[in-house]
Structure 1
Amino acid sequence: MVVAVEADWSGAVLPAERQGLSPDVTDTRLREFAAGRNCARRALASFGMHDTAIPVGRQRRPVWPAGMVGSITHTVGFCAAAVASGGSHESLGIDAEQSRELTSSERRRVCTPSELANVRHGYGDLWPIILFSIKEAVYKAWSPLTGTRLGFHDVVVEADAATGAFLAHVSDRRLTEAARTGCRAPAEVPGRFSADDLLVCSAAVLPRDEPFRVR
């Protein structure tokens, strides 16, 4: 994973990437977008791909070069990108959030009752935002494979606070929906998370050498 430095936030946006932005894009949005693309280009350079454009595709997803998979995330003051070879990974998704306590309505929207009842030792009021971040990362890994969407309650997360590992279980309804498109939809998505007083980070990873369980 590559984390943005100041030069990334003020770096260039390539013409093929700029086409995915609104003509009246705000300066804040342009800085976030530039940071993400420049991080991603630095990550791709480690695979020998230099100055590679990463356009905006369907559902606003980044379009990665052939043979590569990746993910971009940004929140206030932080941006990162991760890439991997498509030969070794089916998909991946990363997410970063500011550490904060969710409101009661946000908790109900994001978390299932069982998840809320199972607050992990050591995280307390941060547990709901951790679940939010995990589910965002899972969606980013799921969507490119299936072309379908996931709601927050379409995913139930089991997590180990001691190791930072998680396993996300996708609902039967969404698996059935994805199966109708002919996709190999993962029923479970593994990954890892971390959290401190400033930032929550999550990564969902589907390695190609560990076939994922499908419906």
Structure 2
Amino acid sequence: MSQPASDALPALPLTPRLAQRLAWIAPGWAPRDLPPAQRRQAEFQAGRQLAAQLLAALDAPVTQVGVAADRSPVWPEGFVGSISHSRRLVAVAVARRRDVRAVGIDIEAIAEDHAVEAIESVCMRPEERGVDTGGLTRAEFATLLFSAKEAFYKCMQPLTRIAFDFPDVSITRIDPARQCLELRLLRAATAEFGPGHRFQCGYRRAQGHVYTALEIGH
């Protein structure tokens, strides 16, 4: 059973150096019908299964993705990747380490109105309130803000071993035509990535979700 055509999903904003896939967790998936623990396990398994498929497509000798103490993925030797899921969708991006140094992806259901203020209080810096959002609603911008910083963390933490927090990076510009935003690092991380370093993060909106992706090349 496949999803209807109206449920078509966008490609993640990544270069062809990466293998990627964005999919519904399962046809007819109804997460509200499951206990939280069982739902989280189903989401986790969907991500690992999709990652194994992409690793196999890249001829990886090992397709199993391990789990670190913080439950982040541990990729097979020679590969980098990122996994994200909402309650309905799962996304994976994988690349050979010789092609891509690091990648971070994130998918988020657009926040409901009652949750927007809480998101802003956690992850929005004062200067980000003045960013031209290019027509995004307040809920869409709050979701994009959260998602982009999550993608940044997933990309940069394995590369730098720094535990970044939401205030450590700021959105400085959004380009709706290119579906890209600029992130500026505000803290010292490594000799390569210090205060003022700028990153480009792609984004998409579809099916009530925001999708963000950040990759670091050689």
What TM-score do you get using the length of structure 1 for normalisation?
0.78
Counterpart position of 1:117: 130
RMSD in angstroms over aligned alpha carbons? 2.4
> In structure 2, how many angstroms separate the alpha carbons of the residues matched to 1:197 and 1:73?
16
Deviation at 1:108, TM superposition (A): 2.5
Match of 1:65 among 70, 76, 91: 76
Contact persistence 1:4–1:78 (CA under 8 A): yes
Higher RCO, Cα 8 Å, sep 6+: 2
Q: Give the 3 Å change call, closer, same or farther, for CA 83–170 of structure 1 in structure 2.
A: same
Is the counterpart of residue 143 in structure 1 residue 162 in structure 2?
no
Matches within 5 A, 1:106-185: 106-125=119-138, 126-157=140-171, 158-172=173-187, 175=188, 178-179=189-190, 184-185=192-193
Counterpart position of 1:200: 210
Query: Which digits, 9 at most, give the CA deviation of each residue in 1:6-63, with x for residues without a partner?
Result: 569x9xxxxxxxxxxxxxx921111011000011111112211266211101432211
Is the counterpart of residue 47 in structure 1 residue 58 in structure 2?
yes
What TM-score do you get using the length of structure 2 for normalisation?
0.77
Counterpart position of 1:14: none
> In structure 1, how many angstroms separate the alpha carbons of the residues matched to 2:118 and 2:26?
38
> In structure 1, how many angstroms separate the alpha carbons of the residues matched to 2:41 and 2:121?
32
When structure 1 is superposed on structure 2, of 58-67 and 135-144 the one drifting more is 58-67
Structure 2, gaps ≥5 residues long: 1-19, 30-35
Contact persistence 2:116–2:142 (CA under 8 A): no
When structure 1 is superposed on structure 2, of 86-95 and 46-55 the one drifting more is 46-55
Identity among equivalent pairs (%)? 29
> In structure 1, how many angstroms separate the alpha carbons of the residues matched to 2:204 and 2:135?
12
